[in-house]
Structures are given as C-alpha cells and as structure tokens.
Structure 1
C-alpha cells in the first residue's frame, strides 16, 4: 500500500523570499564594489558601495521583521529549529550590515579598508547562508 504523500511547502512566504533576494544580491554587489575601490582608488566605487549597503540593509530590516513574525505566526513555526537559526542569521546579517554602513560612511580610504571589506565578506556569506536555509528548507503540510 502506498502511504499518502504529504505536500511540501516552502519554508518562507513567497513575498518574504522576494525581500530576501535583495540582500542576497546587494551585499555581494557591495563586496564587489569594495574590491574594485581597493584596486582602483576611485572614490565613486566607495560611494556606490555605500548606496548598495543602504538598499541591502533596508530589505534586511524588512526580512528580519518578517522572520520574527513568521517564527510565531507564519510558516516557520512548523520548523522551529530552522526558524530560530534563520532568525539569528538574519539578525547578525542586519547588525553587521548596519555596522558596515557606518564604516563606509567614514571619509576616504578608511571607509572601506580591511575592516569594511571583511564586514562586506561576512554580510555576503550570511546572506547566502540565509538564502540556503530559506529556499532549501521545506516542511510537510498537514494531510487532509
């Protein structure tokens, strides 16, 4: 006898996934513009990186709020362990991204430097890990 198949649902809401796509794209773009600035010393790359960080942090804040709400009332409540891990990663990503924005607000070469580049790398990696957890995780819905 075949056992009834249970539907597999995504870990996050589709709109949440769209919001998460922005930090996943913008943090690595800021990292690339940081590397370009360090290689060329053209200040416009540092300015571009600052604007990319602003966009990434805006959407990271939306994702963080949504992750908190979904942990208690959304789809993540069914996978509490993954939901908490996802929330912690998003919170760290947002905090490091905010500090990175403050670092990039400094003047001249010190705006990026080693510390700014390191924080851009951390933000990029955390965004990719959060996307892996969000898009790669599924839970089985109830059968009726």
Structure 2
C-alpha cells in the first residue's frame, strides 16, 4: 500500500527509497578499529598527563590502555585479514597493502611500548614511553585513515 506524500514535507523521501548508511556487508574490522585507535591515542594522552602531574596512576592508565589496544588490535587485525583476503576489491588498491603493513608496525610498536610501560612510573614514560606512545598514536591514525578511505572506495560508499 503506497502512502501519499505529506504536503508539509514536499521533498521528503518515500520510505522505500531510504537506504541504510552502511551496507549489510560492511567490514567488521572497520567497526572494531575504533577500539585500538581510542586506546593508543588515549595512552599518549595519559602519558602526557603523567608528565604534567607526576601522578603515578596516569602511568598505570597508559599501561592498561596499551594492553587493551593490543588485545583489540589482534581481534581487529584478524577480522581485517579475513576481509582483506576474502575480497579482491579490498586487495586491489595499493592503500590496502600499506594499511595492513602500517597496522602491523603499529602492533609491534605497541608491544614494545607495553614492555617499556611495565617499568617503574617515571622510567616507563620518560623518555621512551611517551615517544613510543606518540609514534603509535600518529601511525594508528594515519593507517586507519588510509584503510577507511580504501574501504569506502572499495564498497563504493559516498559520504
């Protein structure tokens, strides 16, 4: 049964013309990637807060965020590999390869950062802890931007 358009909203779409923002086959790893991004950038911010206050709990927060980012990064990476190898359209652009290699480097830096943050509070942050946190945060943001852009192009999603 078709409904008549509402005269108050002459430009409104009919209900059957509305499409979902994301298709049902939207890659799971893109959704999961929000967790490592938040954890690794949060670890840099908590390292910075530690340097501003010398409150030991900030260093603990950094260590916890790095471990949480590593756990979620492994889950995200596993889902990303499944998406990458199951879709030819995902492998075709060169950005997909850079995204995968960059995220592998992010995980290695984060693992090294977790070992550095396992030391005493001041030595866990200065000088290598905050530098590794900064490198990890910047690299995860860059690789996530590359991967999301490539995924949107592969799925032909226009903003």
- Shorter chain as normaliser: what TM range? 0.7 to 0.9
Question: Deviation of residue 69 (structure 1)?
Answer: 2.8
TM-score, normalised on structure 1? 0.81
* Max Rg structure: 2
* Corresponding residue for residue 132 of structure 1: 145
Structure (1 or 2) with the greater strand fraction = 1
**Structure 1 vs Structure 2 CA RMSD:** 2.1
Structure 1: stretches of 5+ with no match in the other structure: 1-8
Runs of 4+ in 1 over 3 A off after TM superposition: none
Contact 1:34 1:117 in 2 (8 A): yes
Matched, 1:99 2:112: yes
**Deviation at residue 70 of structure 1 after TM alignment:** 2.7
Structure with greater helix share of residues: 1
Q: Is the 8 A contact 2:28 2:80 kept in 1?
A: no
The equivalent of 2:68 in structure 1 is: 55
C-alpha displacement at 1:60, in angstroms? 1.3
Aligned length, in residue pairs: 131
Name whichever of 115-124 and 68-77 sits farther off. Answer: 68-77
- Structure 2 unaligned blocks of 5 or more: 1-21
Q: 2: distance between equivalents of 1:13 and 1:102?
A: 35
Q: CA deviation at 1:133?
A: 0.9
Q: TM-score, normalised by structure 2?
A: 0.74
Comparing both chains, which one has the higher relative contact order based on Cα–Cα distances under 8 Å and sequence gaps of 6 or more?
1
